[in-house]
Every structure is written in C-alpha cells, then in structure tokens.
C-alpha cells in the first residue's frame, strides 16, 4: 500500500501540465488511488449521506480520527476534491511534501503564535476561494477507538472563511489499522456524512456551542 501511495504521489502531479488542471492529483486521489488502496488493504466501504455534501460551495469536513487509513477512506467517500492541512515541516518530507505542495494542500506554520495566526488567515482565504478541506478536531488519532475532546481550530477557520461545517463519522478504520501497530487487518468501514452545520448561526462568542454541536452530530451518527 505504501508503494502504491508514494507512486501516485510522485506521478500524479506530473500530469498537471498535460491536463492544464491543478486539480488532477486530487481527482486521482478521489478515484484511482483510493479505490485501489482500499482493495489492497481489504476494506469493504459503505457510505451514507452523500446527498448532504454541498456541490456548489466550499465547506470544511470535520471527522473523528481513528487511523492513518481515514485519509484514503474520506477521499473515496466524499464526492468532492479534498484538501488536507498539514504542518509546514511536511513540505520538506520527500515525495509527500512535493505532492502536497503541487496539489495545493495547505501548510500551517506553528513555530510561534504570530506565524500560526497568519497561516490560519491564509488558509481561510484559500478555503473561501473554493477549497474543500478535511480536518480532525481531535488533533490526533484515537488510541482507544473512542472520540476524544475536540479542539477549536477547525471552527475558528470555518468562521474566518465563512463556510459551513459538515460532520463526518468514520467507523471501522481503528479495527483495520489501530494506532501504534504496523498490522493491517481487512474489515468493514462505515462512513456517515451529516447535514451541514451553518456557520452563520455562530460567532466567536458561541464557539464552544459550535464545537459541541459538531461533536454531538458525529457522536450521534456513531450510535447507528
């Protein structure tokens, strides 16, 4: 699977000059890459709620984070080209950094507060201008399979960009590839996509309510 991932990351951006489309690597990730990667690891994917994804405007997808496989699963589940947000240091990581830069993914500089704020403002502008982004409010993969506390960053970004938040629940990737193990066990994965949460209903003063509403929506989907 790693060989397949790095091969596509290396080759897909090379087709941008031929297709005149910078979105080409994202289309490849959503179709060819994700479908074959799921077969390689033995995941049978079921998705509900695709009709809830807006096609006419950018949004921020917020999802629980169970496994490294979540990226592949979301690329296959969500019917739009997805951008991910990573630390600035990833830009210097061989192949991964090249791919993320060329494909237009977003880097954040967290070396100090001033640079972090500036990075978030730039990210908000990119989202406002049409990029759909995936964020994991927990900040890291779960160690237990349960949903952890949500950080506020994704919701600050939604307010700054003026875009709605779409809650997503992922079930099964933790069993297939848990944290702190190298073993992948084939299995079933279920992704549920909730209805958009209108950012216009919230302000910085109601940020906690915004976070709680999204977390509650994800937890409710997880009960199914």
Taken in order of first residue, the domains within the chain and their CATH numbers are: 43-83+107-222 (3.40.1130.10)
- For residue 12, name the pLDDT band (cuts at 50, 70, 90): confident
Q: What's the pLDDT at 189?
A: 98
Task: Give the global pTM.
Answer: 0.92
Per-residue pLDDT for 134 more than 80? yes
Tokens for 16?
Answer: 């941008």
Q: Are 66 and 145 spatial neighbours (Cβ–Cβ below 8 Å)? A: yes
The burial class, CB within 10 Å (0-12 / 13-18 / 19+), for 191 is buried
> What local confidence, expressed as pLDDT, does residue 2 receive?
81
Backbone angles phi, psi at 2, to 5 degrees: -65, -40
The residue-averaged pLDDT of 35-46 equals 96
Adjacent-strand bridge partners of 30:
none
Phi, psi of 207 (to 5 degrees): -60, -40
116: pLDDT confidence band, cut at 50, 70 and 90? confident
Q: What is the DSSP letter of 197?
A: B
β-partners of residue 169 are: 192
Average pLDDT, the chain: 92
- What's the rounded Cα separation, in Å, for the pair 192 and 171? 9
24-29 LR contacts (CB < 8 Å, sep 24+): 25/99, 25/102, 25/103, 26/81, 26/82, 26/83, 26/103, 26/104, 27/81, 29/75, 29/81, 29/82, 29/103
pLDDT of residue 113: 75
Per-residue pLDDT tens over the stretch 147-185: 999 999 899 999 999 999 999 999 999 999 999 898 999
The answer to whether residue 42 scores a pLDDT higher than 80 is: yes
| Assigned token pair, 201 | 């209903």
State residue 138's pLDDT score. Answer: 94
Residue 46 reports pLDDT greater than 90: yes
pLDDT value for 92 = 85
What pLDDT shows up at residue 10? 87
**Predicted confidence (pLDDT) at residue 207 exceeds the cutoff of 90:** yes
CA 143 centroid distance within chain: 19
Predicted confidence at residue 114, as pLDDT, reads 80
């Amino acid at each position: 699977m790693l060989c397949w991932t790095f091969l596509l990351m290396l080759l897909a951006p090379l087709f941008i000059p031929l297709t005149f489309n910078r979105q080409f690597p994202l289309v490849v990730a959503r179709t060819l890459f994700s479908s074959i990667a799921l077969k390689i690891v033995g995941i049978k994917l079921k998705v509900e709620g695709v009709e809830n994804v807006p096609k006419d405007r950018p949004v921020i997808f917020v999802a629980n984070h169970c496994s490294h496989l979540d990226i592949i699963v979301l690329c296959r589940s969500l019917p739009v080209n997805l951008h991910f947000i990573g630390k600035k240091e990833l830009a210097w990581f061989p192949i991964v950094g090249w791919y993320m830069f060329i494909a237009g993914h977003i880097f954040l500089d967290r070396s100090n507060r001033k640079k972090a704020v500036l990075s978030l403002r730039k990210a908000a502008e990119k989202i406002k201008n049409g990029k759909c982004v995936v964020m994991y409010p927990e900040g890291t993969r779960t160690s237990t399979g349960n949903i952890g506390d949500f950080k506020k960053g994704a919701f600050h970004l939604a307010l700054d960009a003026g875009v709605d938040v779409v809650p997503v629940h992922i079930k099964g990737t933790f069993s297939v590839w848990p944290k702190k193990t190298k073993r992948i066990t084939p299995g079933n994965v279920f992704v549920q996509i909730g209805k958009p949460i209108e950012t216009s209903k919230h302000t910085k003063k109601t940020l906690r309510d915004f976070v709680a509403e999204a977390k509650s929506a994800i937890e409710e989907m997880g009960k199914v």
